[in-house]
């Protein structure tokens, strides 16, 4: 049976970046639970989990991620901001060089003026008038291809969005192999090497590797760790958000979401279109259309309080989380009112950045190693909620681990 130098579990933001780095020197096998999804079919990879089993009674936080080659980067809306650099530095991890590398490879730059839509311009004008300091979002999008359809979270029909597929393609051209529809369940140490036990299209299979990198994302990594005998702490964060909005007297064209934002200490406010607003208004007997809705997302740095079990996720909003959301809603409401929205409604709480479930400094040392000697690298290793898009940092962390491995050989 073939033995690989490295088995990498998961092909998302961090896993793909490690694979790209080390595949030039090592014999790499990527094990991916999902299948190949083209960018315009990415919506088929959506995985929606509810934070509570009895949510009909208690309310819930809906947690989103993607199962498929490229991971959740396929659904991401192209925001590439720097976050958590200082928290990581405190742990002895400097990712400055790797951040620059990703930014250059993905041509990360603020949204050009010509691609900023009417709602976003209104948001910028009105928030400035209210004394806030909006910024233009840095995006990893090819703006010659982007048509501003506002559907980045479904994939990308125009192949404009930069995703981890770029790193997967490079890794494969370096000689890496990828096994899709393989769900890793457990990692075991066998003398100096490791085995990954999993299900290949539902059939048990064991992979042998000299080393393993677990990059299955914030929701699945803790399951594999717990199965492998490594107990994980109850520190799940999701960067909880709500979108508030309503009907406006004007008519707008479709546009790029989150093209601008206002950063605050514990949350950010950014223009975001949500179909839910139309449905919620309808329940209140207010008829609206896609073109006359304005929405603003309030995304908070939530408390790390929650955990993943075999078949369920427990995640709660703490009192502090509620306070942060309320502070954001108060500011966003003022901006919406100034933009001509009378009746403001809110979506349910959602979390699209699950992580913190195998943190550096607790489950891992600052070389990303577990007590068993294999590595973990994905959103689960972040020490606290970023309250901001984490993909750039996660890719940089993948590159950092790759470099550590190359430098130690």
Ligand X SMILES: Cc1cc2nc3c(=O)[nH]c(=O)nc-3n(C[C@H](O)[C@H](O)[C@H](O)COP(=O)(O)OP(=O)(O)OC[C@H]3O[C@@H](n4cnc5c(N)ncnc54)[C@H](O)[C@@H]3O)c2cc1C
Q: How far is the CB of 39 from ligand X (least distance, A)?
A: 14
Q: Between 76 and 341, name the residue whose CB sits nearer to ligand X.
A: 76
**Is 214 in a helix, a strand, or coil?**
strand
**For the chain, how big is the Rg over CA atoms in Å?**
21
Q: Between 16 and 331, name the residue whose CB sits nearer to ligand X.
A: 16
Residue 48 exposed, middle or buried by CB count within 10 Å (0-12, 13-18, 19+): exposed
For residue 327, which of 132, 167, 137, 195 has the smallest C-alpha distance?
132
Q: Between 71 and 341, name the residue whose CB sits nearer to ligand X.
A: 71
For residue 308, which of 236, 361, 230 has the smallest C-alpha distance?
236
Task: Report how far Cα 236 is from the mean position of its chain's Cα atoms.
Answer: 14
49 touches 219 (CB < 8 A): yes
Q: How far is the CB of 389 from ligand X (least distance, A)?
A: 3
Q: How far is the CB of 34 from ligand X (least distance, A)?
A: 4
Q: Between 46 and 340, name the residue whose CB sits nearer to ligand X.
A: 46
267 touches 299 (CB < 8 A): yes
Q: How far is the CB of 64 from ligand X (least distance, A)?
A: 4
Q: How far is the CB of 369 from ligand X (least distance, A)?
A: 18
Q: How far is the CB of 319 from ligand X (least distance, A)?
A: 25
Which residues would be at the binding site for ligand X (CB under 6 A)?
9-15, 31-34, 64-68, 71-73, 75-79, 153, 183-184, 215-218, 220, 224, 352-353, 378-379, 389-391, 394
Q: Between 248 and 376, name the residue whose CB sits nearer to ligand X.
A: 376
**Is 217 in a helix, a strand, or coil?**
helix
Q: How far is the CB of 185 from ligand X (least distance, A)?
A: 7
375 touches 316 (CB < 8 A): no
- Classify each residue of 300-338 as buried b or exposed e, where b means 16 or more C-beta atoms within 10 Å of its C-beta: bbbbbbbbbeeeebebebeeebeebbebbbebbbebbee
For residue 323, which of 264, 382, 383 has the smallest C-alpha distance?
264
What is the DSSP track for 249-288?
Answer: SS------TTSEEEE-SSEEEEE---HHHHHHHHHTT---
Q: Between 181 and 193, name the residue whose CB sits nearer to ligand X.
A: 181
**Helices (DSSP H) in 339-390: which residue ranges?**
none
Give the Cα separation of 286 and 305 in Å (integer): 37
Q: How far is the CB of 43 from ligand X (least distance, A)?
A: 10
38: left (phi over 0), alpha (psi -120 to 50) or beta: beta
Beta strands 293-300; 267-271: pairing state: antiparallel
Q: Between 217 and 246, name the residue whose CB sits nearer to ligand X.
A: 217
Q: How far is the CB of 263 from ligand X (least distance, A)?
A: 14
Q: Between 22 and 224, name the residue whose CB sits nearer to ligand X.
A: 224
314 touches 52 (CB < 8 A): yes
Q: Between 15 and 134, name the residue whose CB sits nearer to ligand X.
A: 15
Q: How far is the CB of 103 from ligand X (least distance, A)?
A: 13
Give the Cα separation of 395 and 381 in Å (integer): 13
- Tell me the residue number closest to ligand X, measured at CB: 12
Q: Between 29 and 332, name the residue whose CB sits nearer to ligand X.
A: 29
306: left (phi over 0), alpha (psi -120 to 50) or beta: left
Q: Between 159 and 292, name the residue whose CB sits nearer to ligand X.
A: 159
Q: How far is the CB of 334 from ligand X (least distance, A)?
A: 25
């Amino acid at each position: 049976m073939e033995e690989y130098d490295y088995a990498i579990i998961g092909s998302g933001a961090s896993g793909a970046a490690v694979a790209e780095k080390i595949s030039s020197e090592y014999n790499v096998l990527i094990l991916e639970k999902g299948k190949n999804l083209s960018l315009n079919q990415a919506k088929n990879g959506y995985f929606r989990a509810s934070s509570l089993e009895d949510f009909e009674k208690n309310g819930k936080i809906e947690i989103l991620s993607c199962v498929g080659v490229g991971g959740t980067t396929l659904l991401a809306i192209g925001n590439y901001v720097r976050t958590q650099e200082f928290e990581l530095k405190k742990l002895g991890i400097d990712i400055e060089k790797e951040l620059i590398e990703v930014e250059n490879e993905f041509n990360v730059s603020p949204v050009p003026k010509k691609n900023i839509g009417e709602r976003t311009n209104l948001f910028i004008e009105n928030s400035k008038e209210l004394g806030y300091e909006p910024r233009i979002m840095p995006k990893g999008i090819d703006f010659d291809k982007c048509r501003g359809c506002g559907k980045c979270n479904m994939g990308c029909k125009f192949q404009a969005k930069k995703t981890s597929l770029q790193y997967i393609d490079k890794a494969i051209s370096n000689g890496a192999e990828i096994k899709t529809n393989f769900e890793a369940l457990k990692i075991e140490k066998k003398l100096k090497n490791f085995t990954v036990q999993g299900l290949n299209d539902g059939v048990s299979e064991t992979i042998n590797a000299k080393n393993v990198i677990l990059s299955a994302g914030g929701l699945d990594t803790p399951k594999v760790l717990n199965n492998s005998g490594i107990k994980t702490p109850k520190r799940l964060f999701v960067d909880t958000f709500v979108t508030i909005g309503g009907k406006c007297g004007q008519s707008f064209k479709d546009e790029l979401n989150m093209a601008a934002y206002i950063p605050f200490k514990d949350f950010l406010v950014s223009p975001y279109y949500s179909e839910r607003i139309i449905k919620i208004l309808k329940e209140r007997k207010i008829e609206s259309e896609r073109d006359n809705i304005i929405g603003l997302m309030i995304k908070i740095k939530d408390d790390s309080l929650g955990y993943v079990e075999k078949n369920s996720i427990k995640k709660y909003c703490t009192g502090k989380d509620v306070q942060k959301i309320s502070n954001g809603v108060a500011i966003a409401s003022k901006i919406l009112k100034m933009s001509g929205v009378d009746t403001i409604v809110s979506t349910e709480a959602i979390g699209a950045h699950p992580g913190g479930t195998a943190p550096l400094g607790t489950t891992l040392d600052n070389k990303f190693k577990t007590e068993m000697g294999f590595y973990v690298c994905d959103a689960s290793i972040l020490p606290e909620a970023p309250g901001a898009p984490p993909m750039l940092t996660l890719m940089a962390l993948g590159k950092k681990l790759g470099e550590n491995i190359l430098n130690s050989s």
